[in-house]
Structures are given as C-alpha cells and as structure tokens.
Structure 1
Amino acid sequence: MSAPTSEARTVITFGTFDVFHVGHLRVIERAAALGDRLVVGVSADELNIRKKGREPVFSEGERMAIVAALKPVHAVFLEESLELKREYILEHGAHVLVMGDDWEGRFDEFRDICDVVYLPRTPAISTTALIEKISATG
C-alpha cells in the first residue's frame, strides 16, 4: 500500500526586487523554507511608480528574470496591483503568504485563505538607501 500523497505546500511572496541584494536573497530563501514550492510576484514598473513614486532601476522583465533564476523560486509572475493580492493567492493555490515585517498587519485580512507570515528584514540593507548611495557617488 502506498503512502497517501499530500499536496505540495505553496508559499507566495511579493516584491519589487530592484537592485537585487542579499536582503532580497535572504527573504526568498526564508520564504522557500516555509513550504515545498515558492511563487514570487514581482511588482510591475507601473505599480512600483505608484508605490514608491519612482521608476525601478531595472525593468520588470529584467527583475523577473533575476528572481526566476534563483534556485528556491519555482515560478514568477507580474504583480500589477496591490488590490489583487487575494486573487494572486487563490490563483497560485498558496498556503502561505510571506511579506517583510515592514508590512506587519497589512495583510492579516488574508488569514481566511492562507497563513500569513511576516519575516524580519535584513538589518542595514535597503534598496532605497543603496540607490541613494549610488546616486551620490555618481
């Protein structure tokens, strides 16, 4: 008699992932460790402009290619709207939503369809600070 098959536990996370750095890598690795399959939503250029008031350094296509190339990532999709988070979670069959703790409490409304985990950010690493530093030295 074979053991019953269990559904793979899917984890979903979202981010801009601009000027990719070790903080991004660590959150992806920690998110992947919470399940069997990691799906990552990469913010569209237009969404990034709405969220942060600036265009990303790298295009959405380049950022998606970088994230897709990472070993822990099973699938990547374009996140076009913050208001579609519930639909993205359902569409990808996610069991766990992972976000950085700078979003603490903002996605608790999805606890009815999945677990919600907020991971601590890597200390002293910020994409915005990196961009400002690069701009200042340029």
Structure 2
Amino acid sequence: MARTVITFGTFDVFHVGHLRVIERAAALGDRLVVGVSADALNERKKGRVPVFSQAERLAIVAALKPVHEVFVEESLELKRDYIVKYGADVLVMGDDWQGRFDEFEDVCEVVYLPRTPAISTTALIEKISSTD
C-alpha cells in the first residue's frame, strides 16, 4: 500500500534548505503532499507578509519533481484535519518544531528532520535588505 507523507512550510524565497527537506520528506514514502502557508497565516506566524505571493509559492512547490500535491494551509490549528484529509501516514516537520506535533502520533508517524545548517529564509531576506 502506498505511503503518503505530508509536510508544511511557507517556502518563501525558495532555497536549497527547502529543496532538501522536500527531498528527504519524499524519501519517507511514495506520495508527498505539501501544505504551503497562506499569506495571512505567514503574517500571523512571522509578523510579515511573504516576499512571494501565496500563488507564486504554490506554483514553485508544485513544480518540484518529488511533490505530488500542494494545498494552502490556512491555519496551524487545522494540522490534524489536513493529515486526515490527505490520508497521511507520516507528518514531516523541521527539528525546530521538535515535540510540537507529537499529539498527532495517534493518526500518523511524526518525523522531525534536521534543518540545513546556516540557511534561513529570514536571514536571506535580512541579507538582501541590507544590500539595498
């Protein structure tokens, strides 16, 4: 039986760290579903609107070879609903969220992957802003 993996992210200013987490998540199953944070969710979560629009970020992630399906993540509180809706067997999150999603172990396996060292969207945005 096919194993579905689900992961979530903003995926703004797409970089190699994003690519690596998607590739590693895809390797844990047969089908990868990715929730891309809505612009409004990102603003609530990080206090800023993304550089790239929700539609652009969805298009970028959807174009990646390992990704089978993308959707807009409207709310952090709906994670369980998304896991169930997409029939996920595995939830993958970055290890900066370690332990925060263990409550979903009753519906799927929860895996926290190490982040790519020295790569951060926020740091990239700050670096780009300081060169203007």
Q: TM-score range by the shorter chain?
A: over 0.9
Aligned structure 1 segments of 4 or more residues deviating by more than 2 angstroms: none
| Residue number among 93, 110, 113 corresponding to 2:104 in the alignment | 110
Q: TM-score, normalised by structure 2?
A: 1.00
Q: TM-score, normalised by structure 1?
A: 0.95
Consecutive unaligned residues of structure 2, counting only runs of 5 or more, are none
The residue that corresponds to 2:7 in the other structure is 13
- The reply to whether residue 33 of structure 1 matches residue 7 of structure 2 is no
Identity %: 85
Alignment of 1:26-105 (within 5 A): 26-105=20-99
Rg (Cα) greater in structure: 1
The CA distance in 2 between the partners of 1:50 and 1:106, in whole Å, is: 18
Deviation at 1:14, TM superposition (A): 0.0
* Amino acid corresponding to residue 63 of structure 2 in structure 1: A
The CA distance in 2 between the partners of 1:108 and 1:137, in whole Å, is: 40
The CA distance in 2 between the partners of 1:102 and 1:57, in whole Å, is: 22
Deviation at 1:120, TM superposition (A): 0.1
* Amino acid corresponding to residue 96 of structure 2 in structure 1: D
Consecutive unaligned residues of structure 1, counting only runs of 5 or more, are 1-6
The residue that corresponds to 1:3 in the other structure is none
Q: How many residues align?
A: 132
* Amino acid corresponding to residue 56 of structure 2 in structure 1: E
The residue that corresponds to 2:128 in the other structure is 134
